[in-house]
Structure 1
Amino acid sequence: MTTPPLRLMAVHAHPDDESSKGAATTARYAASGAEVLVVSCTGGERGSVLNPSYGRQITDLEEMRQVRTVEMAAAAEALGVQHRWLGFVDSGLPEGDPLPPLPPGCFALTPLEEAAAPLVEIVREFRPHVITTYDPTGGYPHPDHIMCHRVAKEAFETAGDPERYRDRGAPWTPLKLYYNHDFSMTRIRTMHEAMIDAGLESPFGDWVESRAAREIPEREVTTRIPCAESFPARDAALVAHATQIDPDGFFFATPRDLEAQVWPVEEYELAASRVATTLPEDDLFAGIAGDEGGAP
């Protein structure tokens, strides 16, 4: 009898987040035969063009949505993963003092149950054993990242309850919930010191030395996934987001052979588990067999 494949769902706020946070992990698991689904909560409509070599800015929301839809399809292909849109509108990153109000109808202002309902439906359809997303801070204080955490946590906690979201499919109980830790200061400092020791100019100096960086709380790391062999897939996915990622910029400043030597992993925090597992882990599916999960 063939064991059903393990299934991983990565829930992200915008297209490009899946390529900068946990991308080598999803590519690794997809290549090893697991079913991997990336869910983008918004279309990234209010994102700016961040790549100076892109050539022009895009100010129309519908045009940006269309461009980033094409980029996301290319990134998913590079990672070897499936992809779904949750369908909400990017909230934008408010700037100023005081901060301006968020735009009406945006993702971050959507009531929690309304925002979580389509994700619960996708969970019940795809039936993931593991879900990954951001910690309660969002990783950084973008309102969509914080909302993404809330929505993913709500779906993890309720998708298996037949009394919740009763019109959204048959219950399915995910077994583990993880938070991404790709931009931890421990990683940044380690890479910074490795580049200095190698006689290279580090792009992380200002970041490491800033007061804001010193005040960032370090969350617990429970799980390190070896995935250096999937760095090329991650990089291809990053480049696919041409409006957002400068191929000569920050994400590519570290020599890949040095990165593979010094930091060949992606890190996670096990936030909740319905199966027994021993920490620390080196596998998101630790403690899970392929036929586990389902209705309570």
Structure 2
Amino acid sequence: MGEQLRLMAVHAHPDDESSKGAAAMAKYAAEGVDVLVVTCTGGERGSVLNPKLDQPEIWANIAEIRRAEMDRAREILGVRQAWLGFVDSGFPEGDPLPPLPEGCFGLVDPEEAAAPLVELIRAFRPHVITTYDETGGYPHPDHVMTHKVSMVAFEAAADASRYPDRGEPWQPLKLYYNMGWSRARFMALHEAMIEATGESPYTKWIEERLEQQAQQEDRPDPDLRVTTRVPCGEYFEIRDDALRAHATQVDPDSQWFAVPLPIQQKVWPTEDYELVTSFVESSVPEDDLFAGVR
């Protein structure tokens, strides 16, 4: 291809882009790919997960703070970013679960919510789009809705009869799901940490998973769905810096950063995806989101 390659990554909240596919995005941006992060909501109902920042003045200005954090993360990753403008649904907790707040993203009709994303796709003209799978990666209503909206928009963007007031049609060539943290990845890092230090930050998580398996409540490992592993270990430090930029959302002393980068880069130096739709020829397994496009 003679033109610049373009990648669009669709995420639910500010900070999701830095915990899912961030190193791959930084890699592609450094190679000259035009990368656009689309953030569906402002994260207004997110928790303050950094205990050092759990203060009344932070909660009072959380929407503005999260936008500023997103700006810093975007600069670190070397990407562009756009807001869809929907309102965070929050994570419902309790038994029974409470209803979602009126007007939140999780309650918007996917066909309606897809309109601004279709407009962005037609304006940016990405060759590749990444988003979440049908589970959302985890059952947050905004993550599940991000999947639904992404699927509607990917299909509609090339159809001139749909959303005719939202720009000239454009056909993205490939669609991927972020596969994120699989059990296989956890186990590989766990075993490497045991070998290197005698202890692992994932011991409790593994024990809980084994208990779930015994109760037959566990779901299949996302690693079984991976078709594409993008080598990007040299960008893990940039990924972590971008994640730390979301200071209200990430405790810098948490297990996100418990495994030293050299161990991560040796044991699992890729970010992983599932190829869902392709209009170009490429054989799996792949090591490049633009396989068949270049």
Query: Which TM bucket (shorter chain)?
Result: over 0.9
Which 4+ runs in 1 deviate beyond 2 A? 57-60, 211-214
Distance across 2 between alignment mates of 1:228 and 1:114: 38
CA shift, 1:87, in A, is 0.2
CA shift, 1:216, in A, is 2.7
- State the SS of the aligned residue for 2:197: coil
Q: CA RMSD in A?
A: 1.3
8 A Cα contact 2:48 2:54, kept in partner = no
- Residue 216 of structure 1 corresponds to 219
Distance across 1 between alignment mates of 2:265 and 2:80: 26
8 A Cα contact 1:180 1:269, kept in partner = yes
CA shift, 1:142, in A, is 0.3
Which among 135, 138, 141 is matched to residue 140 of structure 1? 138
Superposed, which structure 2 residues align to 1:1-296 within 5 Å? 3-57=2-56, 58-60=58-60, 63-211=61-209, 214=213, 215-219=218-222, 220-289=225-294
Distance across 2 between alignment mates of 1:30 and 1:226: 14
8 A Cα contact 1:160 1:171, kept in partner = yes
8 A Cα contact 1:207 1:213, kept in partner = no
CA shift, 1:199, in A, is 2.2
Distance across 1 between alignment mates of 2:33 and 2:134: 27
CA shift, 1:265, in A, is 0.4
CA shift, 1:233, in A, is 1.1
- State the SS of the aligned residue for 2:172: coil
CA shift, 1:247, in A, is 1.2
For residues 232-274 of structure 1, give each alpha carbon's deviation from its aligned partner in whole angstroms, at most 9, with x where no partner exists.
1101101100001111111110000011000100000001111
- State the SS of the aligned residue for 2:285: coil
Moved more, 270-279 or 100-109: 270-279
Task: Specify the code of the residue in structure 2 equivalent to 1:218.
Answer: D
CA shift, 1:201, in A, is 2.6
Moved more, 178-187 or 30-39: 178-187
Distance across 1 between alignment mates of 2:203 and 2:264: 16
For residues 164-192 of structure 1, give each alpha carbon's deviation from its aligned partner in whole angstroms, at most 9, with x where no partner exists.
11110000000111011111111111111
CA shift, 1:88, in A, is 0.2
Task: Specify the code of the residue in structure 1 equivalent to 2:253.
Answer: D
Query: Residues 33 and 200 from structure 1, CA distance in 2 versus in 1: closer, same or farther, beyond 3 angstroms?
Result: farther
- Residue 294 of structure 1 corresponds to none
Task: Specify the code of the residue in structure 1 equivalent to 2:137.
Answer: G
Distance across 2 between alignment mates of 1:269 and 1:218: 13
Structure 2 spans left out of the alignment, 5+ residues? none
For residues 106-165 of structure 1, give each alpha carbon's deviation from its aligned partner in whole angstroms, at most 9, with x where no partner exists.
001001111100000000000000000110000000000000001111111110000011
Moved more, 228-237 or 93-102: 228-237
Report percent identity of matched pairs. 62
- State the SS of the aligned residue for 1:138: coil
- Residue 293 of structure 1 corresponds to none
Distance across 1 between alignment mates of 2:282 and 2:107: 36
CA shift, 1:3, in A, is 1.4
Task: Specify the code of the residue in structure 2 equivalent to 1:287.
Answer: G
8 A Cα contact 2:177 2:274, kept in partner = yes
CA shift, 1:200, in A, is 4.1
Distance across 1 between alignment mates of 2:212 and 2:77: 30
Q: How many corresponding residue pairs? A: 286
Distance across 1 between alignment mates of 2:77 and 2:105: 26
CA shift, 1:221, in A, is 0.6
